[in-house]
Structure 1
Amino acid sequence: MTAPLLAVDHLRIEAARTGAVVVDDVSFAIERGEFLAVVGESGSGKTAAARAILGLLPPGLRRVGGEIRLDGEDLADIAPQRMRALRGRSVGMVFQEPMVSLNPAISVGAQMAEGLALHEKLTRGEIRQRCLDMLARVQIRDPERTFDAYPHEFSGGMRQRIMLASVMLLKPKLLLADEPTTALDTLSQREVLDLMVELARDHGTSVILITHNLGLVSRYAQRAVVLRQGLLVESGSVQQILSAPREAYTRQLVDALPRRRAAAGRRAASEPLISVRGLKVSFGGRQRLFRRDANVAAVNGVDLEIGAGETVAVVGGSGSGKTTLGRAMLRLIPAAGGEIRFQGRDVIATRDRAFRLASQLVFQDPYSSLDPRMRVGEIVAEPLRHVTELSSAERDRRVADMLDEVGLAGFAQRWPHELSGGQRQRIAIARAIVRHPSFVVADEPVSALDMTIQAQVLKLFERLQAQYGFACLFISHDLAAVEQVADRVVVMQGGRIVEQGSRDDVFDRPQHAYTKALLAATPVLDFSGQAAARASG
């Protein structure tokens, strides 16, 4: 038998200051041309193990044991000059957040050319042409303009394509992809990963996909390695791990996948709690040297209504107008036309203060929406400052009860940075619910969470809605989460609603081509270890 392309044996990584073990005695291998998934929750050590391969551990971590062999060469103890020669040329890495890993002050072309200039003896013209060819290869429509542009001018999906093009220019033997699609919508996610697989196949590149998304694992990987708290829990074929996991933790990950609940039938027969008619939102066009571009219609003539206690999910790709619609319904951004009615009252014309007090928003990123200078108790209590009938003791009791309901009793004196991502999202939900609102907009509330934490947050949200009866506009690109929580589904494209109906009708009997494309792009586990495409009509 031939030796594997990469073999990691008994890898051990510790925190430099405290000695805490981050990765403990982990061993795995990847064959030439293979697609291997490394799966685990946040903090499982999967990213640290991948970065150790390239010698890119952050300053706070250090490798203290084990071997890492690439084509028989031990990468753990080679000289820094040799490691620099291998990075990019033999081992490439696509990072989780392309906006962070792409330098905003340097053009796309200059960043792509850097690796070629370092590893290849090519003229500037040859380097430029190679870059343009690769940009066209990853289906970027205007390679010339993209080459001279800057990262901030592109969407998340386009930035991830640029990052993939930069890495694959050098045709590495091994590609490390660290959560490459976490922040992308369903269609962009499918496009980026299909491109990755296609490029890897063309160049004979092996791929290690680091992810917490088991749907992606089922669709793209042949084998998987499961990590938990730095330990290797289980490894084997994807079919075996997903259909017949041997370890309790792996079963827990599979069981945490969202599943469709029975239709609740909660739609009120009376007048809707909130409705919009002909809603329009426009943003000013970009200022050029001597002119301004035409206004952009982010939401264009939307009609929607939500009943008390009902969850209406809004889905669509990035730029479809989902978040703009939610914020406009809360009157956090001005409407260019149409009307918004709450309990029958026009809240645009009357500037209804009661509507403001009865509405709340759960933000997509809880870390940036929680004030780092406020303790958890103060954050949750903030919406109660307008409830004048509550005494100070009653307010403290309400906050304590709310923290207890979200499973964080005793956290009132903690700071946001002391909490995990899942705990911060629970605090964001507690802050939104503590005033007992009538209407809640949840903007991508679980998009950045791993599977088990996502399952906990979704169950918490459903329980609180059943308890307090608020109407919810649930904005998400995660169709699996939508399938679990939604009563009705609204599909948006280009600022318009292209389809809406009951959850079962939209998921099982989609009518519009865009809806069918979204559903087909979502990998679904059939729990026999195979990736199943959704019904696409």
Structure 2
Amino acid sequence: MTLLSVENLRIEVSANKAVIVDDVSFAVERGEFLAVVGESGSGKTAAARAVLGLLPSGLRKAGGRIVLDGIDLAKVSARQMRALRGPTVGMVFQEPMVSLNPAISVGAQMAEGLGLHERLGKREIRGRCLDMLARVQIRDPERTFDAYPHEFSGGMRQRIMLASVMLLKPKLLIADEPTTALDTLTQREVLDLMVGLARDHGTSVLLITHNLGLVSRYAQRALVLRQGKMVETGTTRQILFSPQQAYTRRLVEALPRRGATTKAQQVGEPLVSVRDLKVGFAGRQRLFRRDTGVSAVNGVDLDIAAGETVAVVGGSGSGKTTLGRAMLRLIPTSGGAIRFRGRDVTATTDREFRLASQLVFQDPYSSLDPRMRVGELVAEPLRHVPHLAAGERDRRVEAMLEEVGLAGLGKRWPHELSGGQRQRIAIARAIVREPAFVVADEPVSALDMTIQAQVLKLFERLQLQYGFACLFISHDLAAVEQVADRVVVMQGGRIVEQGSRDDIFDRPQHDYTKALLAAAPVLDFDGAATARASG
């Protein structure tokens, strides 16, 4: 039986009537798991929010019909719609920190829905909340109930959000990119919990995602959107194994895949090396005591050769980003040594090392000054190049923008560009000085598959051209498999395993490495580009 029916949905911008969703129709059966996939701007989230009656200001439903559990939503009042949200349809948002109120305790936010929709006493509400927190595998439900969202990691906050939504046992759960920013293990745990809860309560799931690996693992059917229009729909196997439309084939082909060979083996002295590197953070100062400090990196040994890409993988809190920033001397170390071209640069102001090292941030938008134009941002690292005339600087900037596919955009502001374009700016800014060592911290984690593929190919091409060594930090194992020569696996601030890319992916030795690989949803491709779902 059909739970949700969307017919000829049309969504427009109120001001200029620009079409965001155009003539989209689909249905969700009771107990079904349907995935809606497409690039950013395809209209996925707008279509889902229309079902909830929560379109953002500036957008309006201009046509079509939405029937939820036999109710035509065009005929219900605002009060009736509020009554449907929760028991009939719930939504897990992409960023739980934004959807959870930072000024209200977790328990109060969870209890709010039960208080609005069910006649229960405070004790019973608290008991049901604690039971649900335990159901989503939160270790200390009592402490969590009285705590605030900022006290938890991203994965814990997503569990709390899932617990809040599933408390009311909705008939339809809409999950909007629920695991984009999570590491592989946490992503698997959260989605397995979501599927388990949905099955227990007979809930249908509408999953909005750009991750085709997740679609292959969890969805029964898939719907592909592009620029607000429906491109293709069918079973998951049909969409991934034998797509009929060129756009769907392009999405599938954009998934990262392992190349035939990696670059040359490490030869000679390493460009950058660390020995017994340690980074610790002091505990929080309380009224009468200080909390126990945290050892973020504990005794790491690592060598990176010129032209080599060493990927660092691991769960959130494993020390990946801390290691990268410590190697660039952006944060203080508490022990060990950092060497660059054989010189110890751990505690000295080594100008050559500073000028030869660059960082590509995870979120380019927050790392790009919104008051500077694109050309100015790319030119900024050239300020320290001696005897560089203004004309030569401008020529280098223009050449670099052309290299990264942004020719002619030097006068634009960062907010005028897409996420993929902003990441290209971040890469251009890092490479324009022709550095010897680059740390790339989650450079593609938030990008669509097609944009991610473009950025990874760009990064590989620039590395071959300029020969820089790269520490590639990522929780995206598919991206790591494409670009890495060697892989380092971190857990709890320590390296638990390292080796060549093929050894780590094909012959893992440590249990944690095996768990990471097992948790990663992937699509494998043979030489004929035929997909095979795995995981």
Q: TM-score, normalised by structure 1?
A: 0.98
1:476 to partner: Cα distance: 0.0
CA distance in 2, matches of 1:32, 1:107: 34
Residue 467 of structure 2 aligns with which residue? 469
Q: Confirm or deny: 8 A CA contact 2:259 2:482 kept in the other structure.
A: yes
- Does the residue aligned with 1:499 lie in a helix, a strand or coil? strand
CA–CA distance in structure 2, aligned partners of residues 221 and 54 of structure 1: 21
Q: Tell me the equivalent position of 1:411.
A: 409
Q: Is 1:240–1:529's contact at 8 Å kept on the other side of the alignment?
A: no
Q: Distance in 2 between matches of 1:312 and 1:529?
A: 27
- Are the aligned partners of 1:218 and 1:529 in contact in 2 as well (CA < 8 Å)? no
AA partner of residue 19 (structure 1): K
State which of 68, 72, 75 in structure 2 corresponds to 1:74.
Answer: 72
Indicate how the Cα distance of structure 1 residues 307 and 122 shifts in structure 2: closer, same or farther if over 3 A, else same. Answer: same
- Give the aligned partner of residue 512 of structure 1: 510
The corresponding residue for 1:191 is: 189
- For the Cα contact (< 8 Å) 2:262–2:484, is it kept in 1? no
Q: 1:374 aligns with which of 372, 392, 417?
A: 372
CA contact (8 A) 1:219 1:530 kept: no
Equivalent residues in 2 for 1:28-39 (5 A)? Answer: 28-39=26-37
Distance (whole Å) between structure 1 residues aligned to residue 405 and residue 470 of structure 2: 21
CA contact (8 A) 1:267 1:308 kept: no
Distance 1:58 1:77 in 2: 20
Counterparts of 1:278 and 1:134 in 2: how far apart (Å)?
43
Distance 1:114 1:190, change over 3 A: same
Residue 49, structure 1, aligned to residue 47, structure 2: yes
How far off is 1:531 after superposition?
A: 3.0
Is contact 1:241-1:529 (8 Å) kept? no
Alignment-derived partner of residue 481 in structure 2: 483
Shift of 1:403: 0.2
**2:396 corresponds to:** 398
Are 1:436 and 2:438 an aligned pair?
no
Q: Paired residue for 1:260, among 258, 278, 287?
A: 258
Find the aligned partners of 1:222 and 1:349 in 2 and give their Cα distance: 56
Q: Is the 8 A contact 1:44 1:227 kept in 2?
A: yes
Amino acid at match of 1:98: P
Which SS does the other structure have where 2:74 is aligned?
A: coil
Q: 1:531 aligns with which of 527, 530, 533?
A: 533
Residue number in structure 1 paired with 2:383: 385
The residue type paired with residue 532 of structure 1 is S
The one-character-per-residue Cα deviations of 1:38-86 (angstroms, maximum 9, x if unpaired) are 0000000000000000000000110000000012211134210000000
Helix, strand or coil for the counterpart of 2:35?
strand
Of 249, 269, 272, 2:270 maps to: 272
Among candidates 425, 428, 435, match of residue 427 of structure 1: 425
Q: 2:520 aligns with which of 519, 522, 530?
A: 522
Alpha-carbon distance between aligned partners in 2 of 1:77 and 1:178, rounded to the nearest angstrom: 26
Structure 1 residue 348 displacement after superposition:
1.5
> Quick one: distance in 2 between partners of 1:143 and 1:294?
23
| Match of residue 17 from structure 2 | 19
Partner of 1:173: 171
Per the TM alignment, residue 523 of structure 1 is displaced from its structure 2 partner at its CA by 1.1
Q: How big is the shift at 1:307?
A: 0.2
Match of 1:148 among 146, 149, 156: 146
- 1:127 maps onto 2:125 in alignment: yes
Deviation at 1:389, TM superposition (A): 1.9
Cα distance between partner residues in 1 of 2:74 and 2:221: 24
1:205-224 correspondence to structure 2 within 5 Å? 205-224=203-222
- Tell me if the contact between 2:257 and 2:524 (Cα under 8 Å) persists in the aligned partners: no
Residue of 107, 112, 115 corresponding to 1:114: 112
- 1:321-353 CA-to-partner distances (Å, cap 9, x unmatched) read 000000000000000000000000001133211
Please give the alpha-carbon distance, in whole angstroms, between the structure 1 residues aligned to 2:350 and 2:265.
25
Supply the distance in 2 between the matched residues of 1:466 and 1:169 (Cα, whole angstroms).
52
Give the distance between the partners of 1:529 and 1:444, measured in 2 at CA: 26
Q: How does 1:77-96 map to 2 (within 5 A)?
A: 77-96=75-94
Distance in 2 of aligned mates of 1:190 and 1:35: 16
Higher mean C-alpha displacement, 341-350 vs 205-214: 341-350
3-state DSSP of counterpart to 2:337:
strand
CA distance in 2 between counterparts of 1:531 and 1:153 reads: 37
TM-score (norm 2): 0.98
Alpha-carbon distance in 2 for matches of 1:362, 1:252: 27
RMSD, aligned α-carbons: 0.8
The count of residues paired between Structure 1 and Structure 2 equals 531
What stretches of structure 1 of length at least 5 have no aligned partner? none
Q: CA deviation at 1:295?
A: 1.6
CA contact (8 A) 1:364 1:445 kept: yes
Opposite residue 493 of structure 1, the aligned amino acid is Q
Matched AA of 1:498: V
Q: Is the 8 A contact 2:313 2:487 kept in 1?
A: yes
CA distance in 1, matches of 2:14, 2:480: 42
Q: Distance in 2 between matches of 1:54 and 1:238?
A: 25
Match of 1:349, SS? coil
Q: Distance in 2 between matches of 1:20 and 1:72?
A: 30
Tell me, yes or no, if the aligned pair for 1:238 and 1:529 is still in contact at 8 Å: no
CA displacement, residues 224-262 of structure 1 (integer Å, 9 cap, x when unaligned): 000000000000000000000000000000000000012
Residue in structure 1 matched with residue 241 of structure 2 by the alignment: 243
C-alpha displacement of 1:89: 1.3
Q: Percent identity?
A: 82
Which residue is 2:348 aligned to?
350
The answer for unaligned runs of 5 or more in structure 2 is none
1:263 positional shift: 2.5
In 1, Cα distance between equivalents of 2:524 and 2:513 = 21
Greater alpha carbon shift after TM alignment, 255-264 vs 110-119: 255-264
Q: Distance in 2 between matches of 1:215 and 1:490?
A: 23
Aligned to 1:448: 446
Q: What is the alpha-carbon distance in structure 2 between the residues aligned to residue 283 and residue 446 of structure 1? A: 28
Distance between the aligned counterparts of 1:95 and 1:32, measured in 2?
Answer: 22
